[in-house]
Amino acid sequence: MEAIKLLARIGEPPLGRLIHYRALSTTFREIKIKRDPGCPLCSSKATISEPFPHKKEMTPLPEISTLELRQILADGFDGILLDVREQDEYFTAHIDGSQLLPLSGWPASAANLPKDLKYLVHCAVGMRSARAGEWMLQNGFNDVTNVAGGMKQWLQEE
């Protein structure tokens, strides 16, 4: 509601306050919040002045199906098949030859990847891998492809 009020420029937003709502007892509690003097957004020395100050050109992320992935791997893929799922998901089922790099550890863990290789990125259904692939394209990787359907589709085809 508060976001709608701000966007519509109506009402009075609870700036500097947190409204805590308990649904079971239908009670509200107001908590005052002190400004953080080191906050990059709201302090007197703010460094953030607009939502996305460094907009980069969006490059469309190429996408392949799991059937196409099977063919690429059968033909001898020369690159990295990157699995961005979590470790427990990987141990349950994974594609032979894939390299695990959970999205939860990004961007720090992905910063060490070589940027000049070809990447096929997959996850459980294709959403996390799409986020990872978009990040990679925005950060200097030039040959990244998302695998639509991910492990769920891969396992259904077996």
Contacts of 30 (CB under 8 A, 6+ apart): 14, 17, 18, 19, 20
* Residue that wins the pLDDT comparison between 108 and 121: 121
Give the chain's domains with CATH numbers.
1-55 (no CATH), 63-157 (3.40.250.10)
| Amino acid 134: pLDDT | 92
Predicted TM-score of the model (pTM) = 0.64
Q: Is residue 83 scored above 60 in pLDDT?
A: yes
Name the pLDDT band for 144 (thresholds 50, 70, 90).
Answer: very high
Q: Are strands 17-22 and 27-32 parallel, antiparallel or unpaired?
A: antiparallel
